[in-house]
Structure 1
């Protein structure tokens, strides 16, 4: 499996429009964060989790020429806004795009992108196949996914485990039962928004505490805001098995 972090930023991205803090003025490429997304290449399949507003830029940057399916964690705009750009894959691959998400998320996509699902379809719009995800294992183009239920304040969100890799974003609570699904993962990617506590995301210390409990071989933090601090200053403070994710980071499993 090859894992590429397409984006590791929070909903505003980094730098933030109009901000002049040290992080937003940083020239370190690791401090430039697009909205959060991840690309999985596994068993010959190309799968992306979440299509945020930067989806087009991300797939062009990583030269992702084929895409077999999309999987969504939840319905917030910073995770769904780029859906229209799958049209290019429809055209080049001559097939509809399979989309996997829970029913609530699929219904929101139908509202946000109503033209895709209209009775009269304008020529050239995205072509999709919808698949409903429940809190039980399912297959995406032959690749096994295990949903992990987490809470984003009061909003239920899915993280996903694929083999020895677990990806969790937009969370500030995971039940003991759901933690059991994560344990044994070799690599965990987990959200850590900022230094201070937040109503709907893990803070840096909360994420570190959880990862020390889960004990993966390696962990990376994502969904990072400019309030976390500069990459070069924060990362040396972390336990050895935890690193800060950054856009374009590739992992092999």
Structure 2
């Protein structure tokens, strides 16, 4: 299984438009040491560091590919990485930064099968699958396939399970992606707080690589109207507000599920510049062979 991180940022990405904070400036003009560190991870940062909106490209040994979430930065991501168009896609939830790239299906695909959960969200009154269809009913090239959480299904030479997580007020799903031929496993937490159901934790456990959401540093919680939640034994909040993990929360969660390796994704530009590019925080273009 080959995994390419197309997009590793939050809803505004890093650098953020019209922002001159230290983190965005460092992303635009990384110093030599940061470029060297990223080069060791296979990333060319000569022209800057990018965390575009979240998306992951997975290639199976069967020669097929699966796109996890369809970023609004779809066009730029695919041109930058030079990867082939995916054979199928999965949408984890209906926030715009995870599905609005589907508009790119126009004129690019004869058919793009999109898989999503069939569970009705009490807030929206429709499932994620229904939400995708209602937003993109004008795209005949997009076919929507309803799948039940916790029930594995096969797509693009992979076995995939939608894993419910906690991202109030909307339903959201992480993923367990297993390659039958090699037994390699990729776990994706999805957008979530630290308090994830035990059954979901079990399914996300033991991965070769885990992509774990961590949006900001813990000190940022004091600026959130709802503060922080799910504190560790030292009182450090592992959830920012109610629906995203802090960086310590992401690191604790990666340890909880005993991943062989992990990267923190969906990270915002609010993280201080001297911490925003730590080696376990993902940047676009990282690639992994599992």
| Both structures adopt the same fold (TM-score exceeding 0.5) | yes
The equivalent of 2:117 in structure 1 is: 102
2:44 is the counterpart of 1:40: no
SS of residue paired to 1:156: coil
Matched with 2:248 is: 205
For residues 271 and 242 of structure 2, what CA distance do their matches in structure 1 show?
Answer: 15
Show the counterpart of 2:282. 245
Q: Cα distance, 1:5 vs. partner?
A: 0.4
Summarize the alignment of residues 109-188 of structure 1 with structure 2, pairs less than 5 Å apart.
109-116=132-139, 126-135=140-149, 136-163=151-178, 164-172=185-193, 173-188=195-210
Instruction: Note if contact 1:153-1:201 (Cα within 8 Å) is conserved in structure 2.
Output: no
Deviating more after overlay: 23-32 vs 193-202: 23-32
Q: Is the 8 A contact 1:23 1:31 kept in 2?
A: no
In 2, are the aligned partners of 1:67 and 1:89 still within 8 Å (CA)? Answer: no
Aligned to 1:233: 275
Q: CA deviation at 1:199?
A: 2.5
How far apart are 1:19 and its partner, in Å? Answer: 2.0
Match of 1:214 among 257, 264, 270: 257
Q: Structure 2: any 5+ residue segments left out of the alignment?
A: 31-44, 119-126, 179-184, 221-239
State the Cα deviation string for residues 144-163 of structure 1 (Å, max 9, x = none).
10221101123221111112
Of residues 61, 69, 78, the one that matches 2:88 is 69
SS in 2 for 1:227: coil
Q: Which runs of 5+ in 1 are unaligned?
A: 117-125, 237-241
CA contact (8 A) 1:15 1:32 kept: yes
Q: Aligned partners of 1:42, 1:88: CA distance in 2, in Å? A: 25
- Greater share of residues in strand: 1
| Residue 121 (structure 1) aligns with | none
Measure how far apart 1:88 and its partner are: 4.3
Q: CA deviation at 1:143?
A: 1.8
Counting matched residue pairs gives 234
Shift of 1:185: 1.0
C-alpha displacement at 1:21, in angstroms? 0.9
Q: Is the 8 A contact 2:269 2:276 kept in 1?
A: no
Q: CA deviation at 1:107?
A: 1.9
Q: Give the alignment partner of residue 79 of structure 1, picking from 98, 101, 104.
A: 98
1:132-187 superposed Cα distances (whole Å, 9 cap, x missing partner): 01111111134210221101123221111112111122110311121111121111
Contact 1:169 1:222 in 2 (8 A): no
1:177-217 deviation line (CA, Å, top 9, x unaligned): 21111121111010100013232100011111111221211
Q: CA RMSD in A?
A: 1.8
1:61 offset after TM fit, Å? Answer: 1.0
* Superposed displacement of residue 226, structure 1: 0.6
Q: Pick which of 57-66 and 185-194 moved more.
A: 57-66
